[in-house]
Amino acid sequence: MQTVLITGASSGMGKETAEKLLGEGYTVYAAARRVEKMRDLERIGASILAMDITNEEEVRTAVRRIDEEAGGVDVLINNAGFGLYGAMEDIPIDEARYQFEVNLLGPALLTQLVLPHMREQGAGKILNVSSMGGKIYTPLGSWYHASKHALEGWSDCLRLELKGFGIDVIIIEPGVIDTEFGDVMVEPMLKRSGSGAYAELADRVARATVANYAPGKGSPPSLIAGVISKAIRARRPHTRYVAGRYARLMIGLRHTFGDRVFDRVVMRAYR
């Protein structure tokens, strides 16, 4: 059975995906910073890895271990990520740089390290978990959306480069999912932009985010786990899989009606 490496496996979509793939018989290496949050995965058969995707040595150590134990990674799921929110003017460039380290550059390094094995065997799958935010945009999310737009463009180029080696590159675009995203995003955003020139907008965005990410409002993480499993099993997977609350609606709205209409719809949602 194939060997899978999934990052960001300590919660949400990552943990659900690891559980599903274990149940389907894959050899699963689950990676995250919060090792203690993955002990349940370890009990059902996963090998867990302490890995901060921005720490090059930890990334290299993890791949070396998989190479030694399993012969290499057959399926890479770049799932680790986070959302940096706040007015662009209020966010220090160092924080913006870290957003790109987590959402793009860390996954890029990991991909570079697993590719030699995939090329040698003439097969492999790389699944990059983006977001509907890789196709649309919202106020106070400039750095987050920039990182996800970049991930999508990077993935598209990578797909062309690897096609001749039998390696598929697949983009997953979730919508609103019941995860920690809303809780993790709102408080730092208000700390950055809740009392300055953008305070009114930050308050509106915070209230809308809390409402949209309230328990039961989003789609379950198991939905994305199912989509990822389907993409892995497909002989000829789609280049993109869109799933979850609002994803098709919002991406389709922008594509169909253009930016000006989308601007009005989005800002109306935050009133």
What domains can you pick out in the chain, each with its CATH number?
Answer: 3-269 (3.40.50.720)
The pTM assigned to this predicted structure is: 0.96
Q: Using alpha carbons only, give the angle 49, 78, 65 rounded to the nearest 5 degrees.
A: 30
- In this prediction, residue 214 carries a pLDDT of 82
> 9 near 38, Cβ under 8 Å?
yes
- In this prediction, residue 45 carries a pLDDT of 98
pLDDT digits (tens, 9 = 90+) for 102-154: 999 999 999 999 999 999 999 999 999 999 999 999 999 999 999 999 999 99
Q: Minimal CA–CA distance to 124: which of 143, 111, 142, 139? A: 111
pLDDT digits (tens, 9 = 90+) for 160-212: 999 999 999 999 999 999 987 777 899 999 999 999 999 999 999 999 999 88
Which candidate in 29, 148, 219, 241 is catalytic? Answer: 148
The mean pLDDT value of the chain amounts to 96
Which candidate in 15, 26, 47, 130 is catalytic? Answer: 130
Q: Minimal CA–CA distance to 208: which of 187, 186, 188? A: 186
Check if 11 is active-site: no
Check if 10 is active-site: yes
Mean pLDDT over 205-233 rounds to 94
Mean pLDDT over 36-46 rounds to 98
218: which residues sit within 8 A by CB, 6+ positions away? 175, 176, 177, 178, 179, 212, 244, 245
The rounded distance, in Å, linking the Cα atoms of 182 and 180 is 6
Which candidate in 26, 29, 85, 144 is catalytic? Answer: 144
- In this prediction, residue 1 carries a pLDDT of 85
The rounded distance, in Å, linking the Cα atoms of 226 and 7 is 17
Check if 195 is active-site: no
Check if 130 is active-site: yes
